[in-house]
Structure 1
Amino acid sequence: MSTVLNVILAGGAGKRLAPLTLKQAKPALNFVHRRRIIDFVLSNLWHSGFHHLLVLTQYQPQALHSHLQRHWQARFKQYGSLQCCQAPAALNIGTAGAVARELSIIRDYQPAHIAVLSADHIYKMDYRQMLQCHQQQQADVTIAAVAVPVEQARHFGVFIVDAEQRIVGFIEKPQANVPQIPQRPGFALVSMGNYLFRSAVLQQALGNIAAGQHIDFARHILPHLISSGRACVYDFGSNVLPGEQSLPHYWRDVGTLNSYFASRLDVLSHPDWLQGDNQLWPILGRRSCTERLGQASSALLRKHSGGWLSAITPLAPARHQHALYC
């Protein structure tokens, strides 16, 4: 899908996750089984065939840059590209301002569509289906949305949509009178923080932003596009993945310590959802020590087949005692 440029927002400090984020950005945090939080969105992009990535970093990016270079750069380079753009640590220009800062690079790609994706959520999603919905609706922007209980909706942006899934209202983090889904009382339709724009529309919106101006997508860009009548939602509940998924349509914003550890328990309780021989949409990550030793051993055995090295069996690495440090 070379017509889609994927901009990954990975610069957040994650202050509510302190002390875990004192020395590294939230997307770089270890999650479970040698996967970092950012590995979820990167795996979704890889499986979806969306291989042109622009990763925007800012807060404590060293560990994140190292992870991307060692475990993802070569993979995406096979069919596309992965480029990191680091903003100064003291800069405070909002989510849309961060994308606007890289507008000249975005223009060089000449994409037909631009996906702006959060790097700090736990979920699986085939973005091709969102793109298909976006094109069928001829929308200027399509926003991925998920149904959550009303009591949780106060932490997110809430949509009001018509029968054709066009957005007719949007309330950012409502504290009272949360709009409910007509067919699902007790639930609200909230933003997942994943946007798919028509490239010309986004470039025009970002081109009007003054250098250094603080602009957010939810508070400043979306209201204008919604008023034009060409903003739609993509229902995450309609996304279909291949094979069996023991956590169907699972999505969590791990922005707090409680949500982070609760989500880890969810995933650890369903290891087949993350990986496995029968998992057709695995979450990829760095190779384990066992895999690296196994590949190195195989290479040596091939090179020295029949020699004394063939009698050597590599030692298995010790197991980590706590999954948090895997």
Structure 2
Amino acid sequence: MRPPRTLCLILAGGQGSRLGALTEHRVKPALRVAGSYRLIDTALSTVVNSGLDDVWIAEQYLPHSLNDHLANGGPWDLDRVNGGLRILAPFEGGPGEGMAQGNSDTLWRHRERLAEFDAECIVVLSADHLYTLDLLTVLQTHVASDAELTLVTTRTDEDPSSYGVVQVDDDGRVASYDYKPEDPAGNLVAAEVLCFDATLLVDALEELAEREGGLGDYGDDLVPWFVDRGRTVEHRLEGYWMDMGTPETYWRAHMHLVDGEGARFDDPQHPIRSAQPQLPPARVVDGAVVVDSLLAAGCQVAGEVRRSVIGPGVVVEAGAVVEESVLLDDVRVAPGVRLRRCVVDDGVQLTEPRVHGDGVGVTVLGPDDAAGSAVS
């Protein structure tokens, strides 16, 4: 099958306020993942590994925190004259409109550019998740079903009330869609990858904006509009999928990586590409203890590290203990410091001998909060 002319739009403007200190100084898609990557790398690599090369990224919150990493698309071979990567900068729109109030509003503000591109399909991806997916199979489902919208769905072990809950008929057509319901009807949820009929998407945005007086999140307005028309289908994602929207899920996804049960960053068929930090190899000195852990370039370990992910430039000194924790860039852990189930933000210097983390919840340590805060 010849794939339809497709534009991929990655939504990378969300603040990610549920992550607390981790997104006070960066947009969520710029958050470090697996030691050496950024969260947006999954979405970008998914597009490129699927053979698609028209990629737009819509930004809003703290765009500078992401743009250096994107490097004009070079790490994903998207720095080209025709096609490739295009950044949609944030803008306020007309008088009184302000900034976009949700992902549907973001799409609406770029509707003229979307229409001018003249795609057959528009694939919208969130930059907040870890998964492996071939978008060509999604396009095949979309075309074969003569769908107006194809939702990628997955079963979740997390609380379904945080997502769009989907019910489908035996033929795969979406019978109902309930966005963040108080009483979920099941655990089949939308995985934040959507394939739209391009022309109808623009029509829907204009109709909804005129009718509602403004748009918010597509779970509230855009997806229900399509589902009500009866030509929305699912494409089931059977493998690993994790929303990285809270400290708890961010930490848990890293523990899955440590256990070898999480997202794969080394799959030769679906490699995760990134702008890797230019640093020397990790160094583990004599007397250090490292067990079941991931070490990024430039880190130095002289203490004890167990079931943890250690980011670039991190220093764990002799006499320090790091257990079941995630340390981002350039963290220093001094002698006498013990970390248990912690996520430590860039540049935090833990110099006072003490215990951080109760071993029950997840403790986030940010640059402005050395004591951290427990998140259950």
User: Do the structures match in fold with TM over 0.5?
Assistant: yes
Q: CA deviation at 1:288?
A: 4.2
1:278-326 residue CA offsets vs partner (Å, 9 max, x unmatched): 733221111342699xxxxxxxxxxxxxxxxxxxxxxxx7435532335
CA contact (8 A) 1:2 1:50 kept: no
- Aligned equivalents of 1:130 and 1:9: distance in 2? 18
CA contact (8 A) 1:157 1:218 kept: yes
Partner residue, 2:185: 179
Q: Which one has the bigger strand percentage?
A: 2
Partner residue, 2:244: 254
Determine helix, strand or coil for the equivalent of 2:153.
Answer: strand
Partner residue, 2:270: 281
- Aligned equivalents of 2:74 and 2:129: distance in 1? 18
CA contact (8 A) 1:44 1:124 kept: yes
Q: 2:176 aligns with which of 154, 158, 169?
A: 169
Q: CA deviation at 1:273?
A: 5.7
Change (3 A) 1:32 1:160: same
Which range is displaced more, 8-17 or 152-161?
152-161
Q: CA deviation at 1:34?
A: 1.4
1:85-130 residue CA offsets vs partner (Å, 9 max, x unmatched): 1224851421111011111221222111001110111111111101
Q: 1:75 aligns with which of 77, 83, 88?
A: 77
Partner residue, 1:319: 299
- Aligned equivalents of 1:221 and 1:318: distance in 2? 45
Change (3 A) 1:318 1:137: closer
Q: Which one has the bigger helix percentage?
A: 1
1:145-178 residue CA offsets vs partner (Å, 9 max, x unmatched): 00124x62111111111111101111112222x3
Q: CA deviation at 1:203?
A: 1.1
Partner residue, 2:135: 127
Gaps of 5+ in 1: 181-187, 238-248, 293-316
Partner residue, 2:51: 49
Partner residue, 1:297: none
1:196 aligns with 2:195: yes
- Aligned equivalents of 1:136 and 1:172: distance in 2? 27
Partner residue, 1:13: 15
Task: State the AA in 2 paired with 1:126.
Answer: D
RMSD: 2.5
1:47-102 residue CA offsets vs partner (Å, 9 max, x unmatched): 00111111000001102111112554771134732111122485142111101111
1:91 aligns with 2:90: no
Change (3 A) 1:222 1:70: closer
CA contact (8 A) 2:37 2:276 kept: no
Aligned length in residues: 281
Gaps of 5+ in 2: 93-97, 282-296, 302-309, 312-326, 330-376
Task: Report 1:289-308 matches (<5 A).
Answer: 289=278
CA contact (8 A) 1:156 1:190 kept: yes
Partner residue, 1:298: none
Determine helix, strand or coil for the equivalent of 2:242.
Answer: strand
Determine helix, strand or coil for the equivalent of 1:19.
Answer: helix
Partner residue, 1:114: 122
Change (3 A) 1:162 1:273: closer
CA contact (8 A) 1:273 1:282 kept: no
1:269 aligns with 2:271: no
